[in-house]
Each structure stands twice: as C-alpha cells, then as structure tokens.
C-alpha cells in the first residue's frame, strides 16, 4: 500500500490585501487503503486533496507520496497519483470513448494496436465495451465518471485521489462509482459529503476552517463532524 505523508503543511493563497490561509499545520501519515476527508463547504478538503498530486502547493511543510516529495519530484508523484474530479467532463479530452482511454495509456503502452486492445479491455471491465466508438459527450454523467475512473486506473497509479466523485450522480451511478473506488486495490483518498460512504472507509480526517480537527476511525470521526457541524 502507498504512503501519503503530510508534515506540518500550510497552504495560503494571495488576496488583494495580503494572503489567506486555506490549510494550517496539517500533519498526517496515511497508510490505510481507504482514507476519507469530510468537512463543511469551504473548510479546505479539496485543497488537502490537491496537495497530494501538486495541483496545490504547500507554502510551508512537505507532502510526500511513497517518500517522493511533491515539490521536488512532481512528475514522478503524478505518475503514481491518479486524480478523479467531481466533473468527469473536466478530464475527458478525446472525441470517442475508446480514444480517451487510449490517450490515458499512451505513456504505458507504446504500440498503437496493443494500446487499443488494452483500452478495449479497460472498457469491458467497466461495462462500457459497447460504447467504445461513441462520443464521450453522448455518455451520461455516471458513465462519464466511470470512464474517467477507468482512464485513471489504466495508468496503474498507486494512489487515487477522488474529490467528490459522486456528487453529480444519481443513486445508481453513484453506487457504481463508489463500489469501483472502494474495491480497487489502490490507495484511495476520498473527499465526500456522503457520510454513509465515509463510514465505509478505513480512516477519516475531519477538516474545519483549514485545520484537521479529528483524525480517527470513520465512525468516531463522522460523529465528531456531525456534532461539530450541527452544534
């Protein structure tokens, strides 16, 4: 299993009259297979998730994935960390379903024919084999999210970071995406407002106002979050 290490990490962003702190003094060593991040809107969850593949940089402190520093080994870290966004359309770039998966595979499989065969196998695995030649825009939101996840997994990452991956999906598609993410062998760092889903993970971080205020087993952490959010 992969290891994500955050050591005294603070993230800031510039404002018109100085800077704002988005995340403050976060330290955690994450080795569990499924780690969930919960917290109120605007508390800093996405900022925490984005640190792990360098989409957001730390102002101070270090972020490491399997010992590699995101600040100095960015490309090597990004090869290990796949990212699933809330909006799947954000990461579907090719015209057809098959081409999109094949593009994800371009660094891993050099031979074009072999790449196409692998892409077809990936599509069969997620149940989209019959949509291979369809436009990515003709897929439903749920199918697009499954395709985005397939593209990420095809690159064989050791960590998958998913930022509210089921927020836009109906119950059935949300379930399909959840099961795919929870059952995969890769380490999952999941941001979600779905507390039932959070309870199925192995460890939970609660973020409040840019700080990790609870780091515990999910039952206890979710209880802490509910108590704090509703009090």
Ligand X SMILES: Nc1ncnc2c1ncn2[C@@H]1O[C@H](COP(=O)(O)OP(=O)(O)OP(=O)(O)O)[C@@H](O)[C@H]1O
By beta-carbon proximity to ligand X, the closer residue of 41 and 183 is: 41
Two structure tokens written together for 118? 């692998």
CA distance 205 to 220: 10
Site membership for ligand X, residue 192 (CB under 6 A):
no
**Other C-beta atoms within 10 Å of 204: how many?**
26
Phi, psi of 119, rounded to the nearest 5 degrees: -60, -40
Closest contact distance (angstroms) between CB of 208 and ligand X is 10
Site membership for ligand X, residue 39 (CB under 6 A):
yes
Contact indicator for 40, 191 with CB cutoff of 8 Å: no
Q: What is the dihedral of CA 196, 199, 205, 209, to 10 degrees?
A: 30
Tell me the residue length of the chain: 231
Closest contact distance (angstroms) between CB of 186 and ligand X is 22
Q: Sketch the per residue contact string, 41 through 70, with ligand X: x for CB under 6 A, - otherwise.
A: xxxxxxx-----------------------
Number of shown-chain residues binding ligand X (CB under 6 A): 11
Question: Which among 36-44, 70-78, 146-154, 171-179 is the span making contact with ligand X, rule CB under 6 A?
Answer: 36-44
Residues that bind ligand X (CB under 6 A): 13, 20, 22, 39, 41-47
């Amino acid at each position: 299993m992969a290891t994500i290490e955050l050591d005294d990490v603070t993230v800031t962003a510039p404002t018109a009259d100085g800077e704002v702190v988005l995340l403050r003094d976060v330290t955690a060593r994450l080795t569990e297979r499924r780690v969930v991040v919960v917290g109120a809107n605007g508390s800093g969850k996405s900022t925490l998730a984005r640190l792990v593949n360098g989409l957001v940089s730390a102002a101070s402190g270090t972020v490491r994935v399997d010992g590699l520093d995101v600040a100095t080994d960015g490309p090597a870290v990004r090869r290990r960390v796949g990212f699933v966004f809330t909006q799947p359309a954000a990461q579907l770039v090719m015209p057809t379903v098959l081409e999109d998966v094949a593009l994800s595979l371009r660094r891993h499989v050099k031979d074009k024919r072999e790449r196409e065969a692998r892409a077809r196998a990936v599509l069969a695995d997620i149940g989209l084999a019959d949509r291979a030649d369809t436009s990515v825009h003709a897929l439903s939101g749920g199918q697009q999210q499954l395709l985005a996840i397939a593209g990420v997994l095809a690159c064989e990452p050791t960590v998958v970071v998913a930022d509210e991956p089921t927020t836009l999906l109906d119950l059935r598609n949300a379930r399909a995406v959840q099961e795919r993410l929870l059952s995969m062998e890769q380490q999952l760092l999941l941001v979600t407002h779905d507390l039932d889903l959070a309870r199925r993970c192995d460890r939970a971080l609660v973020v409040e106002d840019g700080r990790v205020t609870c780091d515990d087993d999910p039952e206890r952490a979710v209880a802490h979050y509910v108590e704090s959010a509703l009090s």
